[in-house]
Amino acid sequence: MPKSRRLLLALLALVLATPFATLADGHEWKTVEGDAFTFTEVRDGVWHAVGGGSTAAGSNGAVVVNERDVLVVDSHMTPTAARAMLADLAKITDRPVRYLINTHFHFDHTHGNEVFGPDVEIVAHEFTYRKVASGDTKRGRGYDGFIGSTPQTVEGMRAKLGELSDEDRTAMEQRIAFMMKVYEESEAVEPKAPTLALRKAVTLHRGGREIRLLYLGRGHTGGDVVVYLPQEKALISGDLLTAGLPYMGDAFVPEWVGTLDEVAALDLEVILPGHGPAYTEVERVEHLQLYLIELWQQAVKLFAAGMSAEEAAATIDLTGHAEHFPQIEGAGAPRHAVDRLWELFEAGYVRPAP
Ligand SMILES: [Zn+2]
């Protein structure tokens, strides 16, 4: 492991070194610290796998330990991250991984697939299968925005190195080295496609555990699968729900609202999201719905009035939702979200009847 990564992980381990996660109601979940991941046991054998920092893992996954085998949800953004997760997994179980679920096609949830061996069934929605198999995890708005643009971002960072103190410069150089390592590894990935594709739902019965893989409609992407554990009342949501505002660059915003109606209809007590910590405040489903509805309504009007995506991204006002989404600091909407909406409008997208 290069020094920069060791340092980054050591720093993150320090930040994350709490043995228990305390919930809003004072209840505590057990946590187990690995070298790169922290596992939080939200229900017996149901663990949220939280990577050390957004750059290292890219996304949060989950691990369901069954009587004789293990189901893993999402493979993180590089083979290195997936290998680190599997190494850390030994701290919570010695049972073999039998299933890997890809909740959706985004690179930060699929680029570690190749690390899982031939005995592991990789399960995803048919849409996700097509996207991964065709190489679309390495193309498009999301990949280009987060990974493809790294060389330009790094060029900008290098230009500023001369202005920094010795200490800050060293930190920035380590950051650059780490970003370039992730970029080079991402560019080299040949994404391993899912081996089992579903259209609507599959239920696994593993020992006494029931695990439902559900497609509830389009939302964050065109093929989001959630993992629902009815006995545990737990939902592993991928990016259909995150702790804050999810990425919207490949979204079907109005359909997402209806898909979240289906989520809200599940008997639910705890959500393990694809980004951010697990939570028990199920009302957050509705908070996201209200945000998406307002984003959609304002966008429809501004597009009809002939406004460009750039202008609209500055004009749309979602500050009424800042109470639930603290990252909203003023007027405006995320540019990737508005670009996506304009792309849909220009393609003649019609909101399906509810
Ligand atoms: Zn995503």
pLDDT(24) > 70? no
Domain assignment present for 353: no
Give residue 307 CA to ligand 1 midpoint distance, Å: 28
How far does residue 167's CA lie from ligand 1's centre (Å)? 34
In a domain, 352, yes or no: no
Ligand 1 centroid distance, CA of 132 (Å)? 13
- CA distance to 99, 115, 223, per residue, from 88 (Å): 17, 14, 29
| 232 and 84 inside one domain | yes
Residue 204 backbone dihedrals phi, psi, to 5 degrees: -100, 135
Q: Which of 330, 326, 346 is nearest to 338 (CA)?
A: 346
Residue-wise pLDDT for 287-341, tens only, equals 999 999 999 999 999 999 999 999 999 999 999 999 999 999 999 999 999 999 9
Residue 236 alpha carbon to ligand 1 centre in Å: 13
Does one domain contain both 119 and 157?
no
Residue 4 has pLDDT above 90, yes or no: no
Q: 175 CA distance to ligand 1 centroid (A)?
A: 23
Taking CA atoms, 68 is separated from 45, 98, 206, in Å, by: 12, 9, 8
Distance 354 CA to ligand 1 centre (A): 24
Classify residue 148 by its DSSP letter: I
Query: Quick one: 112 and 211 in the same domain?
Result: yes
pLDDT in tens, 234-283: 999 999 999 999 999 999 999 999 999 999 999 999 999 999 999 999 99
Separation of 337 CA from ligand 1 center, angstroms? 13
Instruction: Say if 354 falls within a structural domain.
Output: no
312 and 220 share a domain? Answer: no
Are residue 147 and residue 199 in the same domain, yes or no?
Answer: no
* CA-to-CA dists, residue 162 to 57, 170, 173, 178, 179, angstroms: 30, 11, 11, 19, 19
110 C-alpha to ligand 1 centroid (Å): 10
State whether 38 and 157 are in the same domain. no
CATH number at residue 45: 3.60.15.10
Span from the CA of 103 to the centroid of ligand 1 (angstroms)? 9
Looking at residue 352, what is its pLDDT?
Answer: 78
- Asked if 110 and 165 sit in the same domain, the reply is no
CA 224 to ligand 1 centroid distance, Å:
9
Q: Could you say which of 260, 282, 304 is where a domain stops? A: 282
pLDDT value at position 25?
57
Whether the CB-CB separation of 209 and 44 falls below 8 Å is answered with no
Same domain, 197 and 91: yes
Same domain, 265 and 296: no
194 belongs to a structural domain: yes
What is the 239 CA–ligand 1 centroid distance (Å)? 5
User: In angstroms, rounded to a whole number, what is the distance separating the alpha carbons of residues 105 and 349?
Assistant: 21
Cα separation, 259 vs 153, in Å, equals 35
In a domain, 351, yes or no: no
Domain that holds residue 310: 290-346
Count up the domains in the chain and report the number: 3
Q: How far is the CA of 160 from the centre of ligand 1 (A)?
A: 31
Determine the distance separating the centroid of ligand 1 and the alpha carbon of 256, expressed in angstroms: 13
Tell me the CA–centroid distance for residue 139 and ligand 1, in Å.
14
Q: 89 alpha carbon to ligand 1 midpoint, in Å?
A: 23
- 252 alpha carbon – ligand 1 mean position (Å): 13
324 Cα to the center of ligand 1, angstroms: 20
252, 282, 312 — which closes off a domain?
Answer: 282
**Whole-prediction pTM value?**
0.90
CB atoms closer than 10 angstroms to residue 263: 23
Do 153 and 207 sit in the same domain of this protein? no
Residues 22 and 121 in one domain: yes
Q: Ligand 1 centroid to 207 CA: how many Å? A: 31
Give the Å distance between the CA of 205 and the centre of ligand 1. Answer: 27
- Domain co-membership, 7 together with 74: yes
Q: Which two tokens stand for residue 235?
A: 């939902």
Q: Residue 154 C-alpha to ligand 1 middle, in angstroms?
A: 23
| In a domain? residue 209 | yes
Domain edge (last residue) among 234, 266, 282: 282
240 CA distance to ligand 1 centroid (A)? 8
Assigned domain for 182 exists: no
- Rounded to the nearest angstrom, the distance between the alpha carbon of 109 and the centre of ligand 1 is 7
Confidence of residue 17 (pLDDT cuts 50, 70, 90): very low
Interval between CA 218 and ligand 1 midpoint (Å): 13
144-172 pLDDT, tens per residue? 999 999 999 999 999 999 999 999 999 99
> Is 233 a domain residue?
yes
